[in-house]
Copies of this chain bind each other. A is one copy, B any other.
Amino acid sequence: MSIKFEVLHTCKQSGARLGRLTTPHGVFETPFFMPVGTQATVKTLTPEEIKEVSEGLILGNTYHLWLQPGADIVKAHGGIRGFMKWDGALLTDSGGFQVFSLSKTRKITEEGVHFKHHKNGSDLFMSPEDSIRVQEDLGADIIMSFDECPPPYETYDYMKDSVDRTLRWAKRGKVALTTDQALFGIVQGGLNKELRKYSAEELMKMDFPGYSIGGLSVGETKEEMYDMTKFLNPILPFDKPRYLMGVGSPDDLVENVINGIDMFDCVLPTRIARHGTALTTQGKVVIKNATYEKDYETLDPGLQTHVSKYTRSYIRHLFKGNEILGMRLVTYQNLAYLKHLMTEIRKAIKEDRLLDFKEEMKKNTNYFKTK
């Protein structure tokens, strides 16, 4: 097995888990958050900077790299790590989510998915075996089973068929794998608990080294999301890492850690950064607001980074002038804040006070405010 996972401690107050994930490219305390490097770059940052603001583990997107520059070119560089000069650990998704979310027309068959290129409209096809082969070329430490992430409005019958097909695809991916990369199974089933339980239990029979939860954070309410991770917590095996895909707002991180999640990724912190929303120890800061025009305080007085020296007034000016440096600084800040938050969360688990930590955060920030 190319990865190893141990639960080191369970928070007596919240039940949240503190763990240790050992990979070929680093040992990481869980729970952690992974920045997303869709196109073999975490947008705006160099690998050196990513190292500073991550735990040392990032995510790459199979779909994007398969289409551009192509898996062969990435492979010729020794995989994503050689391509982007990242010496940390790496996880890739299966491409499934993008096949279903980016392409407007697609046809699902037992064999795989026929779909159109999201930009140039050309005909494409991906099977579970294709996904594994591409992910082998990309060379991540942890890879994902090819899955369908069905729209939340689909009927029970559609969902049941989809879950069954995704289970068959998971099995085929496992057979196709020729490397010692750690292949995770992905629990699907929408908001239907019966299907989610079925999906998890069938995957567990296949004995994956880790389990992802897909199909959440796709339009449901936060309460529905938390309810589902809470439901799955006692079902998923205690001694395997659980990865909640596509979730990364500060409140969602805290709530889902309480529900037993070990790993997270999300484009949100880097995406909102590029539009000028900063995540800070004091809460969200929408830097373009006029209130910051003459605010000579630093962006986040509670967090010392290389961004700390700039005033809010200067960063606002950069955004008003559409300057790339503004996006860089806030991207750096947002990831630095999430790294800080996850460190604080792990500390609170160790000290059996994660519920207290959540209450303090609710009091001191605007992250838990209803939208």
Interface residues in chain A, defined as those with a beta carbon under 8 Å from any beta carbon in chain B:
39-41, 43-46, 48, 64, 68-69, 73, 76-77, 83-85, 293-294, 296, 306, 309-311, 313-314, 316-318, 320-321, 323-325, 327-328
Contacts and interface: CB of A to CB of B under 8 A. Distances in A.
Given A46-B328, A76-B296, A310-B85, A41 B323 contact: yes
The 6 closest A-B pairs by CB, nearest first: A39-B321, A69-B317, A44-B324, A41-B325, A41-B323, A85-B309
Nearest to A322: B39
Question: Considering residues A48, A68, A84, A317, which has the most beta carbons from chain B within 10 angstroms of its beta carbon?
Answer: A317
Contact of A77 (B64, B69, B293, B313): B313
Question: Considering residues A39, A68, A294, which has the most beta carbons from chain B within 10 angstroms of its beta carbon?
Answer: A39
Given A311-B77, A314-B83, A320 B46 contact: no
Contacts of A68: 317, 320-321
B69 A39 contact: no
A296 B78 CA distance: 11
A328 to B, nearest CB: 7
Given A43-B325, A324-B327, 14 more contacts: A39-B321, A39-B323, A40-B317, A41-B323, A41-B325, A44-B325, A46-B306, A46-B325, A46-B328, A69-B293, A73-B313, A77-B296, A85-B310, A324-B328
Given A77-B296, A77-B313, A318 B85 contact: no
Given A41-B325, A324-B43, A313 B69 contact: yes
Contacts of A328: 44, 46, 324, 328
A318 B41 contact: yes
Contacts of A69: 293, 313, 316-317, 320
Nearest to A314: B83
Contacts of A327: 324
Contacts of A320: 68-69
B40 A314 contact: yes
A291 to B, nearest CB: 14
A296 to B, nearest CB: 7
6 contacts: A45-B325, A46-B328, A68-B321, A73-B317, A83-B311, A85-B314
Nearest to A321: B39
Contact of A84 (B40, B45, B296, B314): B314
Given A39-B323, A68-B321, A324-B324, A294 B73 contact: yes
A204 to B, nearest CB: 37
Contacts of A317: 39-40, 68-69, 73, 83
A145 to B, nearest CB: 26
A77 B293 CA distance: 12
Contacts of A314: 40, 77, 83-85
Question: Considering residues A293, A314, A318, which has the most beta carbons from chain B within 10 angstroms of its beta carbon?
Answer: A314
Nearest to A46: B325
A44 B44 CA distance: 9
A313 B327 CA distance: 25
Contact of A43 (B83, B293, B323): B323
